C-alpha cells in the first residue's frame, strides 16, 4: 500500500504544472513568484509571460488554442508565412491579470512611466542659466512628480520645467525621472556640453580650447593660457 501511495503521489507531481516547485515549469498565465518558476524565464507582476507556443502549423495574427498556453490564453504569431512558433497571449476581453495593461486588444505587461526631455540645449556656457523641459505619462496612474539631476548636484530639482547653471566646463549628464502615484518611476537622460564663455581663460591645446562654439582660444605664442574670443 505504501508503495502504491508513493507511485500515486509521483504521478500527480509529474502531471502538476507547479511553477518550478518540483513539477513542470509554469506556462503563460500561471502564477509565479520568480522568473525561475516560469517555462519562459519571464515572470511579470506575479504571472508567467512570454511562453513560446506551437500553433499546429504556421502562426499568424489570429489566436489559436495551444496546449502550450494556459486556459484563457491563445497562441498568436506575427507572420502567417514565416513562423511555426508564436507567443501565448490573453485577450483583454477575458480580463487582464493584476498589474497588466490592455494594448491593441491583448493583455500586456505595463511599462514604467514614460518620460521625455523635450527641451535641453546641447551646449551651455558655464555660468549661464539654461532651461530644461520634460513631459511624462503613465499607463497605470497620474504622474506625481518629475525630478532632475545635474551630474554631481546632490539635491534633485523638481518640476516639468527647471533652470540650472553649471559653474565649470564639463560634459554633463542631465537626468529626468518621472514618478507616478503608485510609486513606479521611469528615467531618461541627455548629455550636454558645458563650454567656456567669451572672456574666460582657456588652455590653447587646440583652436577651440573648450571655448563655446563661435569663439576660439586666443593666446600669444608659447603662452600657457589664453582667452576665449
Report the relative pairing of strands 114-119 and 47-48 from DSSP bridges: unpaired
Distance CA(216)–CA(5), nearest Å, equals 88
Q: Coil, helix or strand for 74?
A: strand
Summarize pLDDT for 71-83 with one digit per residue, the tens.
Answer: 788 888 876 556 7
CATH 2.60.40.10 residue ranges for the chain: 114-194
19: left (phi over 0), alpha (psi -120 to 50) or beta: left
**pTM for the predicted model, two decimal places:** 0.58
Question: What dotted CATH number matches 114-194?
Answer: 2.60.40.10
Residue 134, pLDDT > 90, answer yes
Counting every residue, how long is the chain? 229
Q: Is the pLDDT of residue 175 over 50?
A: yes
Give per-residue pLDDT as tens, 110-131.
778 889 999 999 999 999 999 9
Amino acid at each position: 500500500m505504501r508503495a502504491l501511495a508513493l507511485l500515486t503521489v509521483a504521478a500527480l507531481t509529474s502531471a502538476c504544472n507547479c511553477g518550478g516547485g518540483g513539477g513542470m515549469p509554469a506556462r503563460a498565465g500561471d502564477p509565479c513568484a520568480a522568473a525561475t518558476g516560469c517555462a519562459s524565464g519571464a515572470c511579470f507582476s506575479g504571472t508567467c509571460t512570454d511562453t513560446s507556443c506551437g500553433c499546429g502549423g504556421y502562426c499568424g495574427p489570429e489566436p489559436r488554442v495551444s496546449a502550450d498556453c494556459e486556459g484563457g490564453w491563445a497562441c498568436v504569431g506575427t507572420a502567417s508565412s514565416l513562423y511555426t512558433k508564436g507567443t501565448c497571449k490573453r485577450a483583454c476581453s477575458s480580463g487582464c491579470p493584476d498589474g497588466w495593461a490592455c494594448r491593441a486588444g491583448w493583455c500586456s505587461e505595463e511599462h514604467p512611466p514614460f518620460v521625455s526631455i523635450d527641451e535641453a540645449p546641447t551646449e551651455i556656457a558655464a555660468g549661464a542659466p539654461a532651461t530644461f523641459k520634460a513631459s511624462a505619462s503613465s499607463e497605470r496612474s497620474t504622474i506625481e512628480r518629475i525630478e532632475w539631476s545635474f551630474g554631481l548636484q546632490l539635491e534633485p530639482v523638481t518640476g516639468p520645467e527647471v533652470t540650472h547653471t553649471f559653474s565649470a566646463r564639463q560634459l554633463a549628464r542631465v537626468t529626468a525621472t518621472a514618478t507616478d502615484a503608485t510609486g513606479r518611476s521611469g528615467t531618461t537622460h541627455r548629455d550636454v556640453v558645458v563650454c567656456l564663455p567669451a572672456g574666460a581663460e582657456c588652455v590653447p591645446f587646440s583652436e577651440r580650447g573648450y571655448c563655446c562654439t563661435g569663439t576660439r582660444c586666443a593666446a600669444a605664442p608659447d603662452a600657457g593660457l589664453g582667452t576665449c574670443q
